[in-house]
Amino acid sequence: MASLMKQALDKKFSRKAFIGWSAALTTAAAAPAYGLKKIDSKVAAEKLEEEGRWVSASCWHNCGGRCLNKGFVVDGVVTKQKTDDTHEDSPDYPQQRGCARGRSQRHQVFGVDRLKYPMKRKHWEPGGGKKELRGKDEWVRLEWDEALDLVADELKRVKENYGNKSIIGASRLINHYGGALVRWGSSSSGAWGKPQQHMAANLSWGGSDRLDWRNSKLIVMWGSNPAWSNGGNPQYNLMQAKKAGAKFIFVDPFINPSVRSLDAEFIPCRPGTDTALLLALAYYMIENDLQDQDFLDRCTVGFDKDNMPEGADPKENFKDYVLGTYDGVPKTPEWASEICGTPVEKIRFFAQEIGTTKPMIFQSSFAPARTHRGQQFCQAFLTVGWMTGNVGKPGAGVFTLNYARNQSYGGKTLVMPGGRGLESPENPLFPGLTFGAYDGYRFAAPTRTDFHGMAYTETYDAILNGEYTATVRGKVPCDIRMIWKVRPGSGDNFLNQSSDIPKGIKAFRKLDSIITNDIVLSTISKYADIVLPATTEWEKEGRINTGNPEAIFIANKVTEPLFEARTEEWMEVELGKRLGISEETLFPISDKQQFFNSLAGSQVIQDNGEDYEPLVTITKEDIDEWGVEGEPQQGRIDLSELLEKGSYQVKRSPGDNLGDIKGKAYVDDPEGNPLDTETGKLEIHCQILADEIAAYGFTTIAPIAKYEPPLEGYEDTFENYETKEKGEFPFQLVTLHYPRRSHSVFDNVPQLREAFPQDFVMNKRDADERGLKDGETVLIRSRHGKVIRNLFTTETLMPGVVTLGEGAWVDLDEETGIDRAGATNMLNGAHNSGQGEEPWNTCNVTVEKYDGPPLKADKYWEQRVIF
Ligand code: SF4
């Protein structure tokens, strides 16, 4: 067969030609000799079956799931996909099946809008050129050498004139080149980090083993919608718990698809007011003596005045705060209902249920903590959960579920990859800090004077105003000139995914240079100066992906790099040559060796549930064939079989030795197994938490859970809260994970745009009051920006609450300042809070009919095709 890929890559591409080619490759594979002759499609399909092969390629996106993905590769092109068919599906041993996004990856990898060549903004020149044209300038194609010379020269210029701290970014190269300004804070997990660390010694991160969830009688899901936000198996596992007899209660502003699929009791609660609801639950339980006093006395400190940590003011106990003993405000269901919107009877019902049903799982997602003053929710959630005593027992638990572990998985890690063998270089500007996730590190250490960077939420103000908050030490000057995003794992689209895009664009237009690598023209690259075309994971040597603790997934190389795309490692090596940093220094071992190391070091748990053994059998022939260094070893599965199968999943059955009850050892013997907290116990009163949050220099909290209205919460929707006179921004916006995207990834895929329209959702009664109709285009404004979208009305969302899926790629009308795509960060403000959590679920907006032309459906929008 003639080489499809070669014909395609040799071709001079007009957009039309590429669409034709791409469609031919990715739809039905009906033209094996593309464009040469007509052929019957059935015959063509059979021919392709003979000529192609299935390659396992795990989905690589940061969605919350982790699934097996297989591509049928014909001459380097994936013509169809399938998911896990490696074994029969069963509840105990479920297939790891992908969602619509993962199954659309071929449209992403082979899409018409892949970046094909290095390019620069026409009016950029060293120092910035016409900075105001960022985002609307023309693009000029560059040769690779030209692009690399420009980038290396600009890095040198900025470093020599302004120093490394004028660069925001992280990569191996930049750390070897003197480092850069790192940023800290919390996006995904909201405010959970520090409360978990100091109150619970991280005992409540992640859940117990998924099979144990079937022992529960009641499962509370707070702010959770796994059917949308955790693709893959989590919802399936919850259905097994339901089948086994568990009742479900969901707390949310939205009767979401998970509520309906689990036939759950629904407790409505306004965004950012969850703390008030939790305090009322505590009040009811105390009044009715439903708290597990024995558990509180044995395993916690701070619940009441008789059980306070040493040195704490006895009046600062939680029980007296809830009862209003000293502040005169009992936190009754009536008090809470006015704030959170939950009917009083529902609050009493809910409190009665959690106070009397055992065993119960009380779990929260990260979403309710993605608010201004998010820590207060975390404090209240843990405290009320602990009041029920559901810790360390079968079918019980008080959990915050981490997306990477997959909601309702939890438990021990049963199989894990080995290290890749590549050490991370230290950032010389921040001692002890190595290149890793995000820009550098998740949370600043406010007590160390040499260890602070800038909060994510303060980035744009820092660029515009020349200073940022160096934790409790106050403001420090800065002169930020460059954004550097050439790093492994393209897709750090932070201009789109951080709050306050309008301010972000202003800040971007002040800088000297913005360099990115990307696979498509995502928002950050659209506003950049030089963009380098990167390979997708399907064009790399391979890696092992993890997430589900029961399985690992192989991402094999599927095809050669498309067009002139290169790996980020290649880019850094080529830049290193120009900056005097050797390949040996940057990447002392090859990608292939790294992949091999990871496979060879993989471990799997033994049947005793304690010890681990090597997973992969590797022969001398394997090592020779790979051309790598290594030793033969005996494992459970042959290397070639693992690579072909694409995953290794540990088989489970109820009663096996592989389960785990979180916190059991501590609860059985708190004195013998003290926790790593200040007191060795679970801390309802936690002074070190309050001190550390204060030290960040943003907002403060009390050592116990208290309700204080957040910025842009429910209270701020009023002009006058006492008289209930609404203000200019009367609605509360919640920003949901939406099945069309994994954060902002996949927003460019037309098939997903068609399946999941980006509608703006509001309660039908709210819409009727404003004369707004389903399907018409509405203008949504906040204090920070404005978007237009088509309206979808429903009775399943609380009145006063509106929602949009997060992650749409901003599409700005420069004249009006309106974003047509419905990017939620156009509306969200970048408020500094607590430990630098993004306050995505505290945002006030107003909605009106749009007087411009109606929006056409996203699936008809032009894709960002540059060359
Ligand atoms: S996007 Fe997530 S849930 Fe969907 S296939 Fe990929 S890993 Fe699985």
Q: Is 102 in the pocket of ligand 1 (CB under 6 A)?
A: yes
Taking residue 14's Cβ as centre, other Cβ atoms within 10 Å add up to: 11
Q: What pLDDT is recorded for position 27?
A: 41
Residues 96-105 have a mean pLDDT of 92
- Whose CA is closest to atom 6 on ligand 1? 102
Residues 132-143 have a mean pLDDT of 98
> Which of the four pLDDT bands, split at 50, 70 and 90, describes residue 430?
confident
The boundaries of every CATH 2.40.40.20 domain in the chain are 715-860
Q: What is the pLDDT of residues 146-173, one digit of tens each?
A: 999 999 999 999 999 999 999 998 889 9
- Whose CA is closest to atom 4 on ligand 1? 99
Number of H helices, E strands in the chain: 29, 38
CA distance 563 to 807: 27
Among 590, 574, 561, 463, which Cα is nearest to 166's?
Answer: 463
Kindly provide the residue ranges of all beta strands, DSSP E only, lying in 443-503, ordered along the sequence. Answer: 454-455, 467-469, 475-477, 482-485
Note whether 636 and 537 are within 8 A (CB): no
Q: What pLDDT is recorded for position 59?
A: 84
Among 507, 460, 499, 501, which Cα is nearest to 842's?
Answer: 499
Q: Is 186 in the pocket of ligand 1 (CB under 6 A)?
A: no
Long-range residue pairs from 285-290, CB within 8 A, at least 24 positions apart, any chain: 285/351, 285/354, 285/355, 285/384, 285/387, 285/388, 286/319, 286/322, 286/323, 288/351, 288/352, 288/355, 290/351, 290/352, 290/355, 290/356
CA distance 186 to 48: 47
Q: Is 97 in the pocket of ligand 1 (CB under 6 A)?
A: no
Q: What pLDDT is recorded for position 235?
A: 85
Q: What pLDDT is recorded for position 862?
A: 93
Residue 224 per-residue DSSP state: -
Among 668, 700, 610, 662, which Cα is nearest to 201's?
Answer: 662
Taking residue 824's Cβ as centre, other Cβ atoms within 10 Å add up to: 29
pLDDT greater than 50 at residue 14: no
Q: Is the peptide bond before 359 cis (omega within 30 degrees of 0)?
A: yes
pLDDT greater than 90 at residue 60: no
Tokens of 536: 């997708």
Q: Is 543 in the pocket of ligand 1 (CB under 6 A)?
A: no
For domain 715-860, the CATH architecture is Beta Barrel (2.40)
With tokens 């204080």, the residue in question is 708
Residues 15-39 have a mean pLDDT of 42
The number of the ligand 1 atom at minimal distance from the alpha carbon of 69 is 5
- The crossing angle, in degrees rounded to 10, of helices 375-387 and 274-287 is 20
Kindly provide the residue ranges of all beta strands, DSSP E only, lying in 69-144, ordered along the sequence. Answer: 69-74, 77-83, 119-121, 139-141
Residues 92-96 have a mean pLDDT of 94
The number of the ligand 1 atom at minimal distance from the alpha carbon of 66 is 7
Which of 205-214, 437-446, 512-521, 733-742 comes out lowest in average pLDDT? 437-446
Q: What is the percentage of the chain residues whose pLDDT exceeds 90?
A: 79
With tokens 């790593």, the residue in question is 676
Q: What pLDDT is recorded for position 336?
A: 98
Tokens of 800: 């006063």
Q: What is the pLDDT of residues 555-566, one digit of tens each?
A: 999 999 999 999
Residue 776 per-residue DSSP state: S
Residue 308 per-residue DSSP state: P
Give Cβ neighbours of residue 831 (< 8 Å, ≥ 6 apart).
372, 457, 499, 711, 712, 839, 842
Give Cβ neighbours of residue 532 (< 8 Å, ≥ 6 apart).
118, 147, 151, 486, 515, 516, 517, 518, 566, 571
Q: Is 65 in the pocket of ligand 1 (CB under 6 A)?
A: yes
For domain 119-187+418-545+553-601+610-647, the CATH architecture is 3-Layer(aba) Sandwich (3.40)
HSE-CB at 86 with a 13 A cutoff on CA atoms is 27
Q: Is 59 in the pocket of ligand 1 (CB under 6 A)?
A: yes
pLDDT greater than 60 at residue 87: yes
What separation in Å is there between the alpha carbon of 513 and the centre of ligand 1?
34
CA distance 388 to 385: 6
Query: What is the strand order of the sheet 53-56 is part of?
Result: 53-56, 69-74, 77-83
Q: Is 486 in the pocket of ligand 1 (CB under 6 A)?
A: no
Instruction: Give me the CATH topology for the region 201-411+675-693.
Output: Dimethylsulfoxide Reductase; domain 2 (3.40.228)
Residue type, 301: V
Q: What pLDDT is recorded for position 51?
A: 84
Angstrom CA distances, 333 to 284, 380, 451, stand at 7, 15, 44
Residue to substitute in 66, 96, 229 for testing ligand 1 pocket (most ligand atoms within 8 angstroms of CB): 66
What separation in Å is there between the alpha carbon of 572 and the centre of ligand 1?
29
Note whether 503 and 464 are within 8 A (CB): yes
Residue to substitute in 59, 81, 82 for testing ligand 1 pocket (most ligand atoms within 8 angstroms of CB): 59
Residue type, 103: R
Residues 22-50 have a mean pLDDT of 52
The boundaries of every CATH 3.40.228.10 domain in the chain are 201-411+675-693
CA distance 227 to 213: 17
Q: Which runs of consecutive H residues, i.e. helices, occur in 170-248?
A: 172-176, 193-200, 226-229, 234-243
What separation in Å is there between the alpha carbon of 101 and the centre of ligand 1?
6
Backbone angles phi, psi at 361, to 5 degrees: -105, 125
The boundaries of every CATH 3.40.50.740 domain in the chain are 119-187+418-545+553-601+610-647
Q: Which runs of consecutive H residues, i.e. helices, occur in 288-365?
A: 293-299, 318-323, 333-340, 344-356
CA distance 689 to 701: 8
pLDDT greater than 90 at residue 293: yes
Q: Is 98 in the pocket of ligand 1 (CB under 6 A)?
A: yes
Q: What pLDDT is recorded for position 435?
A: 61
Tokens of 722: 């006492």
Tokens of 58: 């795990």
Work out whether the CA dihedral 197, 199, 200, 204 comes out positive or negative.
negative
What separation in Å is there between the alpha carbon of 468 and the centre of ligand 1?
37
The number of the ligand 1 atom at minimal distance from the alpha carbon of 67 is 8
Residue 181 per-residue DSSP state: B
pLDDT greater than 90 at residue 523: yes
Give Cβ neighbours of residue 704 (< 8 Å, ≥ 6 apart).
302, 316, 317, 318, 321, 379, 383, 684, 685, 686
pLDDT greater than 50 at residue 24: no
CA distance 616 to 599: 7
HSE-CB at 676 with a 13 A cutoff on CA atoms is 6
Tokens of 569: 């490692």
> Which of the four pLDDT bands, split at 50, 70 and 90, describes residue 50?
confident
What separation in Å is there between the alpha carbon of 65 and the centre of ligand 1?
5
Taking residue 202's Cβ as centre, other Cβ atoms within 10 Å add up to: 15
CA distance 701 to 694: 7
CA distance 112 to 18: 6
